[in-house]
Amino acid sequence: MRVLSGIQPTGQLHIGNYLGAIQQWVDLQTKHDCFFAVVDLHALTVQQDPKEFGRATMEKVIELISAGLDPEKCTIFLQSHVKEHAELAWIFNTITPVSELERMTQYKDKSKKNKENINAGLLTYPILQAADILLYQAQGVPIGKDQIQHLELTRTIARKFNNLYGNTFVEPEALVLPEGAKIMSLVEPKKKMSKSDGAASYVSLFEEPESIRKKFMRATTDAGKEITYNPAKKPGVSNLLVMYSLFAEQSIKDTEKQFQGKGYAALKKEEAELLIDKLEPFRKKKKELQSRDLYLKEVLKRGAEKAHSVASQTMEAVRSKLGLLSL
């Protein structure tokens, strides 16, 4: 199976990204032909400081490798290194109704949050995402729940192009985990954990131990004192239970049993210690990679070459289907 997924370069890589997406990527890389992109062009829908942007992009590459991606087992690349992404996005622009884009939840949320910069890229963002996926003829796309709507639109675009110009694209499937696909904010557990909310709402994958302890101790919990899984009535505790179970690799039922008769404080305390322990290797690996500039450049160079060899083939087929002349 061909697999593709992507992540934005800006903001912290948090445990929501990890449990919903990256952990799947690490698992899939040993079984499938995987492509993972740091989507730097997507991040430009928010104005970036050019000096900081390059650093953040490289840091995301470091973080993905630290979290378990192995450049020997999968293809890691920057979206902007493969020009076909922007080219195919333009073509898809011409077959996607504006009304479909205006329906996207993420567009509605983001334009509400950034009233002063509702640029066209914010609206056409999912078209570029469709190009990311369809260029590689990916069958599987490992993502968290918040990206399902974009994947559905990708499928619609693939179908529409195939109907208009003849069979060209594979219709990809979303690979969404039963647990972990939507990790909630530590502060407002009815909202998803997001890098764009305050730092208290998420735990970074590379967070220092003292800060992890503080964030868990201050996490919002619910009325009562029973530690039971009930997302509607106990969103805070349920979110803590989900994260604990995933990091401890045990069922939610077993986690409930483990904390039976104990209070919220015990759960928070033990959860913080569990995470400190589990995240330690990631922190270590990140420090080690930070000084390996040449190696990282080499990884990206190889990644871009491999990605380009696939993307250019698809693009050639698309050009020919559309009647765009070659030289």
Q: Residue numbers of the site for ligand TYM (CB under 6 A)? A: 4-8, 16-17, 19-21, 39, 42, 129, 132-133, 141, 143-144, 146-147, 181-183, 192-193
Q: Is 285 one of the annotated active-site residues of the chain? A: no
Catalytic residue among 60, 110, 182, 215: 110
* Residue 36 to residue 133: CA distance in whole angstroms: 10
Residue closer to ligand TYM by CB (options 202, 259) is 202
Q: Which uninterrupted H or E stretch holds 142?
A: strand 140-142
Q: Is 110 one of the annotated active-site residues of the chain? A: yes
Query: Taking Cα atoms as reference points, which of 265, 240, 270 lies closest to residue 252?
Result: 240
Q: Is 284 one of the annotated active-site residues of the chain? A: no
Which residues share a beta bridge with 75? 35
Catalytic residue among 73, 145, 160, 195: 195
How is residue 211 written in tokens?
Answer: 């800060």
Shortest distance (Å) from residue 72 CB to ligand TYM:
22
Residue closer to ligand TYM by CB (options 48, 258) is 48
Which residue's beta carbon is nearest to the bound ligand TYM?
20
* Residue 212 to residue 186: CA distance in whole angstroms: 11
How is residue 219 written in tokens?
Answer: 């996490």
Which residues lie below 8 Å from residue 107, measured CB to CB, with a gap of 6+?
A: 101, 122, 123, 125, 126
Residue closer to ligand TYM by CB (options 66, 147) is 147
Residue closer to ligand TYM by CB (options 5, 255) is 5
Shortest distance (Å) from residue 8 CB to ligand TYM:
4
**Other beta carbons less than 10 A from residue 171's beta carbon:** 13
53-68: b or e for each residue (b if 16 or more CB lie within 10 Å)?
beebbbbbbbbbbbbb
Shortest distance (Å) from residue 146 CB to ligand TYM:
5
Residue closer to ligand TYM by CB (options 182, 234) is 182
Which residues lie below 8 Å from residue 307, measured CB to CB, with a gap of 6+?
A: 35, 37, 75, 77, 81, 82, 136
Shortest distance (Å) from residue 141 CB to ligand TYM:
5
**Do 29 and 73 form a contact (C-beta atoms < 8 A)?**
yes
Residue closer to ligand TYM by CB (options 178, 261) is 178
CA angle 129, 132, 138 (to 5 degrees): 115
Shortest distance (Å) from residue 145 CB to ligand TYM:
6
Q: Which residue type does 45 have?
A: T
* Residue 136 to residue 4: CA distance in whole angstroms: 7
Shortest distance (Å) from residue 22 CB to ligand TYM:
7
Residue numbers annotated as active site:
110, 192, 195
